[in-house]
């Protein structure tokens, strides 16, 4: 949508800084393509990843370049937070999650990934999904072979 912001002042020499954040917006991840971002302390950035029925496993890697970001994951269409998530990685330094299907995450699904800034942080997030091999004819496997492959993450 269109947003309009107006600033009025009685002092013609006033200066200001304006910052805006659209809450709840998500960024699409593309497999193996790093997503660099930053956030202030106490804030969230959200990403989505579409996983198909042949997904074997997923790796999420969050590498900080400054600060202390953490990663939280949900698979029910809701945004994760520090109390509501199915997977998280909250160590200082690089956080990595490696997982396959489970009771909490069943493929196909849309993962919602939240990055929380314990402190102001800059980071790179990379998502990678691997497909299970398919022994059926190629036309029944969307042209896939028996070899695992990377898939596009959204």
Residue 68 maps to which CATH number? 2.60.120.380
pTM higher than 0.85: no
- Domains of the chain: total: 1
Q: Could you tell me if residue 136 is inside a domain? A: no
pLDDT of residue 147: 41
Give the span between the Cα atoms of 18 and 3, in whole angstroms.
13
**pLDDT grade, residue 7 (50/70/90)?**
confident
Share of the chain above pLDDT 90, in %: 51
Domain hosting residue 95, numbered range: 26-131
* Better-scored residue on pLDDT, 132 or 86: 86
* Better-scored residue on pLDDT, 17 or 136: 17
Using an 8 Å Cβ cutoff, are 123 and 64 in contact? yes
Tokens linked to 142: 């969307």
| Strands (DSSP E) found in the chain | 26-28, 35-39, 44-51, 55-66, 69-74, 87-89, 95-99, 109-117, 121-131
């Amino acid at each position: 949508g269109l947003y309009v912001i107006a600033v009025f002042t009685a002092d013609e020499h006033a200066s200001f800084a304006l910052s805006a954040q659209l809450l709840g917006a998500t960024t699409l991840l593309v497999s193996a393509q790093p997503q660099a971002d930053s956030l202030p302390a106490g804030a969230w950035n959200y990403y989505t990843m579409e996983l198909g029925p042949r997904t074997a496993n997923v790796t999420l890697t969050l590498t900080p370049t400054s600060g202390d970001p953490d990663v939280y994951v949900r698979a029910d269409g809701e945004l994760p937070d520090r109390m509501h998530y199915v997977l998280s990685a909250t160590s200082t330094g690089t956080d990595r999650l490696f997982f396959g299907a489970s009771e909490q995450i069943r493929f196909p699904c849309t993962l919602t990934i939240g990055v929380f800034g314990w402190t102001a942080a800059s980071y790179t997030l990379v998502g990678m999904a691997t497909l299970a091999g398919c022994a059926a004819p190629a036309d029944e496997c969307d042209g896939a072979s028996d070899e695992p492959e990377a898939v596009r993450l959204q």
